[in-house]
Amino acid sequence: MRGDLEWGSIPGLVRSAAERYADVEAVVDGRTRVSYEELGARVERAAAACLASGVRQGDRVAIWAPNTLDWIVSALGAVSAGAVLVPLNTRFKGTEAAYVLASSRARLLFVTGTFLGTSYVASLRRAAGEGEGAGPLPGLPHLEQVVVLSDDAPTDFRTWKDFLAGGEGVAAEEVREREAALSGSSPSDIVFTSGTTGRPKGAVITHAQTLRAYAVWSELSGLREGDRYLIVNPFFHTFGYKAGIVACLMRGATMVPQPVFNVDTVLANVASERISVLPGPPTLHQSLLDHPSRDAHDLSALRLVVTGAAVVPLRLVERLKSELKIETVLTAYGLSEASGIVTMCRRGDAPTVIASTSGRAIPDTEVRVVGPSGDPVDVGSPGEILVRGFNVMQGYFEDPTATAAVLDADGWLRTGDVGVLDAAGNLRITDRIKDMFIVGGFNAYPAEIEQLLGLHPDVADVAVIGVPDGRLGEVGKAYVVRRPGSVVTGDDLIAWSRREMANYKVPRVVEFVGELPRNASGKVVKGELRGRAS
């Protein structure tokens, strides 16, 4: 299954989709409905505008905006012009965005105007408005142009409309020539890691890696023409951009981008747009199932859910199948440094396999679990997960030292994740190495404890961290969201835990919260919980 051979590059995929699925609805964004043929034309127009703006092959073009049609068009337009896409996290503050823009030396930025009450333009001005550069943001001397994805922009920035108008004098042949200059080995994007272990680093991924990985993802998930895909996962994340936009282009599925996760909006969209595919973190599906007015919405078109996290409760998988009659529920594991996909369950796997593991290595990749010495551990024993295959990044952008720290001479990528392989090759993620804490000499993995606590009937959501303890060094603290109507106490949960898990795993402290802090990708922000605990 070699998507890179079929399309050659991402712009080749866009052009193929525009021809093959011409009359199929490609994107539904509010009242705007765009066919694949029209999407192809819009992308080509954006690519022409990039050429007119001086974008050269290999230049970095950044985008800092929520899930919209304009994100799709501007991002694919930039890539079609030969640029390397740098997506920025919509939760970034101005200083964080400026760091990524400086590190990647982006020449062009597409930015939203205001999102969630925040002016991204104003926050960038505060972070990079002073310096020695001559461009619109002097603190970012390499950034030559800023295009605001709206009809209004400051005088030294450009509006989306004006930007597109600038490309009207560029012939279609010029755009095609630029596309033709790309090969599978050309970089397609630089995905900056979340920075949980220091400053964010940019993983460089090629066109061939992207196409091949998401041809596999589309095949294993069973995505097909006619599917209607609600993309709640943010586009700046591989799960939203590649398992969303790129996969839909491959299969002719309809994209329905949703800029912000709100369960009421999800329910309304699923019902009104007859959504059949709804990937996302487990918390998305849990909130859908538990919504008091769920039954007032027609969710019968839903047929495919793909989720992934260290903890996916078995009960969640069973409820999706039994209560919502969802035909296929799959889990997967990936990271930016491995094109976003490493392992995936297969259709037909038992619910226990889907809930307790992230599936098996995708074709043409290898997964190994090793101990501190670097030697493989026994089946069933935890260790660091290593990955080797076509999906492993080219390296961190202009950072050979950081690259050498995670990528060895034999092509093995150190993920920093802890996992266990079973006899069938299914991988169970137990934690991040940095999240592990040691209780009286025993290694305690929060994700394992969270999975056990998630079995309690009164627990809706849970996160565990290690906190200092004078006698044992560290012990567990659980932040728990109760189910509606529950009156369970901390003492109740601790007593229950003593019956269900080894003593060193039992949380010594339970704090009840209304909700857990999560980032835009749905992951719990444990740094914030550690800050509260300290």
Q: For 227-263, how does the pLDDT look when each residue is reduced to its tens digit (9 = 90+)?
A: 999 999 999 989 999 999 999 999 999 999 999 888 9
Q: What pLDDT, on a 0 to 100 scale, did the predictor assign at position 520?
A: 67
Last residue of a domain, one of 133, 154, 182: 182
Q: What pLDDT, on a 0 to 100 scale, did the predictor assign at position 521?
A: 66
- Position 253 in a domain: no
Cα separation, 157 vs 322, in Å, equals 52
What parts of the chain have a pLDDT lower than 70?
Answer: 1-5, 194-198, 309-311, 441, 520-521
For residue 475, count CB atoms less than 10 angstroms from its CB and return exposed for 0-12, middle for 13-18, buried for 19 or more. buried
Q: What pLDDT, on a 0 to 100 scale, did the predictor assign at position 238?
A: 92
Q: Which of 170, 247, 252, 240 is nearest to 212 (CA)?
A: 247
The DSSP annotation for 164-227 comes to HHTTTTS-HHHHHHHHHT--TTSEEEEEE---TTSS--EEEEEHHHHHHHHHHHHHHHT--TT-
Give me the phi and psi of 33, to 5 degrees please.
-125, 125
The secondary structure element, H or E, covering residue 499 is helix 490-500
Cα separation, 51 vs 98, in Å, equals 24
Q: What pLDDT, on a 0 to 100 scale, did the predictor assign at position 281?
A: 83
Based on the domain organization, do 278 and 422 belong to the same domain? yes
Specify whether the CB–CB gap between 149 and 123 falls below 8 A: no
Based on the domain organization, do 498 and 403 belong to the same domain? no
- Position 417 in a domain: yes
Based on the domain organization, do 471 and 401 belong to the same domain? no
Based on the domain organization, do 350 and 460 belong to the same domain? no
CATH number at residue 506: 3.30.300.30
How confident is the model over 464-503, as pLDDT tens digits? 999 988 777 789 999 999 999 999 999 999 999 998 887 8
Quote the number of domains for the chain: 3
Cα separation, 411 vs 510, in Å, equals 43
Cα separation, 103 vs 201, in Å, equals 9
Based on the domain organization, do 72 and 119 belong to the same domain? yes
Cα separation, 134 vs 202, in Å, equals 26
Last residue of a domain, one of 182, 213, 228: 182
Four-point Cα dihedral 117, 118, 120, 125, nearest 10: 140
Based on the domain organization, do 428 and 447 belong to the same domain? no
Q: What pLDDT, on a 0 to 100 scale, did the predictor assign at position 3?
A: 46
Based on the domain organization, do 151 and 295 belong to the same domain? no
Based on the domain organization, do 419 and 474 belong to the same domain? no
Based on the domain organization, do 427 and 443 belong to the same domain? no
- Position 194 in a domain: no
- Domain containing 399 equals 261-432
- Position 231 in a domain: no
Cα separation, 498 vs 504, in Å, equals 9
- Position 208 in a domain: no
Q: What pLDDT, on a 0 to 100 scale, did the predictor assign at position 196?
A: 42
Based on the domain organization, do 424 and 479 belong to the same domain? no
Based on the domain organization, do 424 and 444 belong to the same domain? no
- Position 235 in a domain: no
Cα separation, 96 vs 92, in Å, equals 6
CATH number at residue 150: 3.40.50.980
Four-point Cα dihedral 467, 469, 472, 476, nearest 10: -30
- Position 188 in a domain: no
Alpha-helical runs (H) found in 278-382: 282-290, 314-323, 351-356
Q: What pLDDT, on a 0 to 100 scale, did the predictor assign at position 441?
A: 67
Four-point Cα dihedral 57, 62, 66, 71, nearest 10: -20
Specify whether the CB–CB gap between 323 and 289 falls below 8 A: yes
- Position 199 in a domain: no
Based on the domain organization, do 494 and 396 belong to the same domain? no
CATH number at residue 409: 3.40.50.12780
Cα separation, 469 vs 103, in Å, equals 40
Last residue of a domain, one of 394, 412, 432: 432
CA distances from 418 to 307, 311, 432, 451 (A): 19, 13, 6, 15
Alpha-helical runs (H) found in 53-159: 69-80, 94-104, 120-128
